[in-house]
Amino acid sequence: MKKTTLLTVLLSATMLTAANAADPIKIGVVTPLSGTYAGIGQQVRWGLDLATKEVNAAGGIMGRQIELIYEDEEANPSVAVQKADKLFQVNKVDFLTGTVNSASTVAVGQVAERANKLIATTVSFADDITGAKCSPNVFRVNARAGQQSAALAAWLAKDKPKAKVFFLGPDYLMGRSTVAAFKDAAEKSGASSLGEVFAPLDSKDYTQYFGQMRAARPQVLYTSVAGNDTVRLFSQMQEFGLMKDLLVLGASGTVTAQNLPAIGKAAEGFATGVGYSDEIDTPENKKFVEAFKAANKAAPDLYGADSYGLIYAYKAAVEKAQSTDTDKVRKALEDLKWQTPQGEKTLRAGDHQAVQTMYVVRVTGGKFMTVGQVSGADAIGPDTCPRF
């Protein structure tokens, strides 16, 4: 009788282990699939889908396939919180990514802490995410505003020394953070600031700010509007004659492969600091670009590349931890080094921010051309996270 019982227990345990091994690793994706940031969300999806397809074809993570579960957050933090909570509590996802709006990333990070789960953003720029509002449950694999600004300000100081700059940003966490970061970097490099305005997200009319811009008489405009907002801003500036003799700079999400065709000639000369360019001349990036184009009939931008790289970071961490347990994966992600299309990255343990080479790209002849580069060590800046 005892032998029968023991055999039953062992058989049950074996069946349970086999079942667990067969279960997919669930990754929730809360990202904008509609609204002004839908184009950015599309790149996020394309990058995640491609990497997941590759990992699953190669046997998955420790023999388990990855399952991506998408939810549309509409670039709305309150919607993002609801969708993230559903993914954690109902779908029982092991990990979460996809947030674009910086305020959404901060809010979803708080949901992750309550659920004892980890999240990583591949898009959000606001410095506070890995600074003053850092969380032990939040990682960022893309470059933050400070890293972008360090590269762009260094290039501006050479191209237009002691430039007079006016700022126009979207009125929420990302917009104010990017403007503050570039203003600080540019002033340290010799530029002077003439004024700043902030417009609501999804603004339809930017002409109300043009009088203040004309009165300031800037040589340079720095803006961090993104998505469809960029199309409207640049089109209206061109229509009102503001582009003449004005150098326009911006955050890396302002002009991208997604909205460049719609902006057209108004984007000519625009420059930005980025963590990725599809022009990076390495075998790894060429292979990635070719695969991305074949899968999506479109070139990758920084959002697609960083989302692609995240899947490989999570895979490396789970294999290092030999578990999907939150505490073990967190420890494995800290100081993790992994290969991405833009080269090796490191997730700094002190603030969970990726360290990477930064580039300056400029629209020339309708295409992004690389015009500058800064090392990861020179661009990263100090660790300001106060919580861990």
Structural domain includes residue 373: no
Structure confidence at residue 21 (pLDDT): 63
Structural domain includes residue 16: no
Largest interatomic CA distance in the chain: 93
Q: Which of 274, 232, 229 is nearest to 249 (CA)?
A: 274
Same structural domain, 257 and 161: yes
Mean pLDDT of 119-141: 96
Mean pLDDT of 15-26: 68
pLDDT single digits (tens) 152-188? 999 999 999 999 999 999 998 889 989 999 999 999 9
Measured in Å, how far apart are the chain's first and last C-alpha atoms? Answer: 54
Same structural domain, 157 and 265: yes
**3-state class of 138 per DSSP?**
strand
Instruction: Kindly indicate the confidence band of residue 6, based on its pLDDT and cuts at 50, 70 and 90.
Output: very low
For 217-281, the DSSP string reads --SEEEE---THHHHHHHHHHHHTTTTTT-EEEE-TTTS-TTTHHHHGGGGTT-EEEES--TT--
Of 258, 274, 290, the residue at which a domain comes to its end is 274
Same structural domain, 175 and 164: yes
Indicate if the pLDDT at residue 279 is higher than 90: no
Structure confidence at residue 168 (pLDDT): 97
pLDDT single digits (tens) 22-40? 799 999 999 999 988 898 9
Same structural domain, 97 and 41: yes
Region label for 227, one of left (φ > 0), alpha (ψ between -120 and 50) or beta (otherwise): left
Indicate if the pLDDT at residue 47 is higher than 60: yes
Cβ(111)–Cβ(85) below 8 Å? yes
Mean pLDDT of 135-157: 96
Compute the distance between CA of residue 227 and CA of residue 207 in angstroms, rounded to an integer: 18
Round the average pLDDT of the chain to a whole number and report it. Answer: 93
Structure confidence at residue 20 (pLDDT): 61
Same structural domain, 166 and 253: yes
Q: In this predicted structure, which of 6-10, 53-57, 207-211, 303-307 has the lowest mean pLDDT?
A: 6-10
Compute the distance between CA of residue 194 and CA of residue 147 in angstroms, rounded to an integer: 23
pLDDT single digits (tens) 291-318? 999 999 999 999 999 999 999 999 999 9
Indicate if the pLDDT at residue 5 is higher than 70: no
Same structural domain, 228 and 109: no
Q: Which of 184, 188, 187, 210 is nearest to 197 (CA)?
A: 210
Structural domain includes residue 302: yes
Compute the distance between CA of residue 339 and CA of residue 333 in angstroms, rounded to an integer: 13
Instruction: Kindly indicate the confidence band of residue 14, based on its pLDDT and cuts at 50, 70 and 90.
Output: very low
Structural domain includes residue 93: yes
Same structural domain, 55 and 152: no
Structure confidence at residue 22 (pLDDT): 78
Same structural domain, 179 and 223: yes
Region label for 276, one of left (φ > 0), alpha (ψ between -120 and 50) or beta (otherwise): beta
**3-state class of 66 per DSSP?**
strand
Indicate if the pLDDT at residue 119 is higher than 80: yes
Same structural domain, 128 and 157: no
Structure confidence at residue 9 (pLDDT): 44
Indicate if the pLDDT at residue 4 is higher than 90: no
Beta-carbon contacts of residue 119 (< 8 Å; ≥ 6 apart): 84, 95, 96, 97, 99, 105, 108, 109, 112, 137, 138, 139
Indicate if the pLDDT at residue 243 is higher than 50: yes
Q: What's the number of domains the chain is made of?
A: 2
Indicate if the pLDDT at residue 205 is higher than 50: yes
Instruction: Kindly indicate the confidence band of residue 352, based on its pLDDT and cuts at 50, 70 and 90.
Output: very high
Compute the distance between CA of residue 139 and CA of residue 220 in angstroms, rounded to an integer: 33
Same structural domain, 131 and 208: no
Cβ(138)–Cβ(129) below 8 Å? yes
Structure confidence at residue 10 (pLDDT): 46
Where in the sequence is the domain holding 244, given as residue range(s)?
Answer: 146-274
Q: pLDDT > 70: what percent of the chain?
A: 95
Structural domain includes residue 17: no
Structure confidence at residue 227 (pLDDT): 85
What b/e sequence results for 39-51 when a residue is b if at least 16 CB atoms lie within 10 Å of its CB, and e otherwise? Answer: bbbbbbbbbbbbb
CATH of residue 234's domain is 3.40.50.2300
Same structural domain, 270 and 150: yes
Indicate if the pLDDT at residue 7 is higher than 80: no
Structural domain includes residue 139: yes
